[in-house]
Chains A and B, each alone.
Chain A
């Protein structure tokens, strides 16, 4: 075990963590703001890349391709939202249905090939793994930070508007929201669309970064997103009160996740066991609040909120 090999791998871990951080912010919107666990992301995390890469291979402008990727993700969110609100399917199942259908759709977008490469020397990619140790503006960490800041700024503005507030209210208390005249179905659909649009943007960035899009690249994305959300909650929960800081915390959570992953790999873990490890870590962190509650109840602490 050579420490320099770990240090060499760190810039890549940070860049990848930041790109997945964009996705984790999308997960935060559904999981924390809307209080819905949306499994669509496992599919839309490949859709964005597929759309963007195929359009660029066809000669499309890079920015237009990115925009189309976002729109494609939003459409995926719309489908999940319609499954849930119009057809009355529970949110988790709605997400699974969309995710499954996206597998076929993603293959169709990719000309029925499991992966499609895009070469950084021939196409104007916004981020590339090749420059990850460069010291100039071409370093993908720089561009990713810029996009992250832009995404956070947009979301911070949006959730401060009347419409954005109605989304937050829907996640906080649905019955109360309807009593205040909020169409909670529209709010949920809109939230799912925004979330998956952001996930698709992250997907397109990841495809640029690694130089190819793979139909399986979204597998387990929801777990990585949840891991980032939970890590940020544990580490910055008390520190970051402001909404923009919370979103930034989620991105930092994703970076921490990738650094830890890199260290575990460096320590000699078999790469194939990574997903098992991630799932176990997330399961434990999800269980902590439950165990804390059970402990408090056993020790005669105050359960639930106080009255009057």
Chain B
């Protein structure tokens, strides 16, 4: 279970660039919830994910996972609870390290790093199977540097790394936005498959309304640092893009003018 209670964050406070990024976010996810997050640019979607991940401290409020307060834990100390995939395929992997080395790093998320060997033979065999399941042929390139992979391959690998140790919460931050449409669809399907197989509690930010409707059991819309719409279950299944745009206009008092969302 994830709980955000009145989470607030202001960037560059008391300057001309002051930006209230999170303006009292309240959100509660049950185990197994797959929630898609939409909203215009600057609505606070990625900021909310970064707040949960602990990229910087929040100003006030609290963040709990399974009842444990992680608000003040540093980013690396709360990493054991979280799997993360980023928008930029470059961000989720170490380009100058091998595929298997990246997986070995991820397999030790939240554990003490000791002077034991960094990757064992049994691990290699397990990684081979997991890579083969991706269907990208990466199982035959395990010692290749990750920098040689395409953006789609890197996102698929990052997804595998994020879930290699089952996280309490999976954070997908527009992880298909930098990919071409066909690759994006493939990575999305893969995400869904991994989430369902592992029954993962997931927050997925997307700019694409259709994806937001199609995937997950719940949808939230954000605007100006707040959650303005929260639709789940049967009601979500009946959603259409038009209904979402109407809902946005009603909730925010302005038209949903954003090409990336309208055309996505």
Q: Which residues of A contact B (CB under 8 A)?
A: 158, 160-166, 168-169, 172-173, 175-184, 305-308
Q: Determine which residue in A158, A161, A181, A184 has the highest number of CB atoms from chain B within 10 A of its CB, and name it.
A: A181
Q: Which residue of A lies closest to B179 (CB)?
A: A308
Q: Is B95 part of the binding interface, using a Cβ–Cβ cutoff of 8 Å?
A: yes
> Which residues in A have their C-beta under 8 angstroms from that of B115?
158, 161-163
B113–A166 CB distance below 8 A: yes
Report the Cα distance A165→B114, complex, angstroms.
10
Q: Is B180 part of the binding interface, using a Cβ–Cβ cutoff of 8 Å?
A: yes
Contact check: which of B110, B111, B113, B151 meets A165 at CB < 8 Å?
B113
B117–A163 CB distance below 8 A: no
A180–B106 CB distance below 8 A: yes
A306–B150 CB distance below 8 A: yes
A182–B151 CB distance below 8 A: no
Name 21 interchain pairs, CB-CB below 8 A, sorted by A.
A160-B118, A163-B114, A164-B118, A168-B101, A172-B94, A172-B97, A173-B91, A175-B86, A176-B93, A179-B79, A179-B84, A180-B109, A181-B76, A182-B76, A182-B105, A182-B113, A183-B74, A306-B150, A307-B178, A307-B180, A308-B151
Report the Cα distance A161→B117, complex, angstroms.
4
B101–A165 CB distance below 8 A: yes
How many pairs of A and B residues are in contact by the CB < 8 Å rule?
Answer: 103
B180–A308 CB distance below 8 A: yes
Report the Cα distance A182→B75, complex, angstroms.
9
Report the Cα distance A166→B82, complex, angstroms.
18
8 A Cβ contacts from B57-81 to A: 74-77, 79-80
Known: A178-B79, A179-B92. 7 other contacts (CB 8 A): A172-B95, A178-B75, A179-B53, A180-B105, A181-B79, A307-B151, A307-B180
Report the Cα distance A172→B104, complex, angstroms.
15
A181–B108 CB distance below 8 A: yes
**Shortest Cβ distance from residue A150 to the other chain B in the assembled complex, whole angstroms:** 17
The number of chain B residues touching the other chain, given as a range, is: 35 or more
| Given contacts A168-B97, A308-B151, A176 and B114 within 8 Å (CB-CB) | no
> Which residues in B have their C-beta under 8 angstroms from that of A180?
79, 105-106, 108-109, 161
Report the Cα distance A306→B79, complex, angstroms.
29
Q: Which residue of B lies closest to A171 (CB)?
A: B96
> Which residues in A have their C-beta under 8 angstroms from that of B151?
305-308
> Which residues in A have their C-beta under 8 angstroms from that of B179?
307-308
> Which residues in B have their C-beta under 8 angstroms from that of A182?
76, 105, 113
B93–A173 CB distance below 8 A: yes
> Which residues in A have their C-beta under 8 angstroms from that of B152?
307-308
A181–B53 CB distance below 8 A: no
A181–B110 CB distance below 8 A: yes
Q: Is B116 part of the binding interface, using a Cβ–Cβ cutoff of 8 Å?
A: yes
**Shortest Cβ distance from residue A193 to the other chain B in the assembled complex, whole angstroms:** 15
Report the Cα distance A166→B101, complex, angstroms.
10
**Shortest Cβ distance from residue B53 to the other chain A in the assembled complex, whole angstroms:** 7
Report the Cα distance A161→B109, complex, angstroms.
15
> Which residues in B have their C-beta under 8 angstroms from that of A308?
150-152, 179-180, 183
Report the Cα distance A284→B74, complex, angstroms.
41
Q: Is B89 part of the binding interface, using a Cβ–Cβ cutoff of 8 Å?
A: yes
Contact check: which of A161, A181, A184 meets B116 at CB < 8 Å?
A161
Q: Is B90 part of the binding interface, using a Cβ–Cβ cutoff of 8 Å?
A: yes
A305–B114 CB distance below 8 A: no
Report the Cα distance A254→B152, complex, angstroms.
41
**Shortest Cβ distance from residue B186 to the other chain A in the assembled complex, whole angstroms:** 10
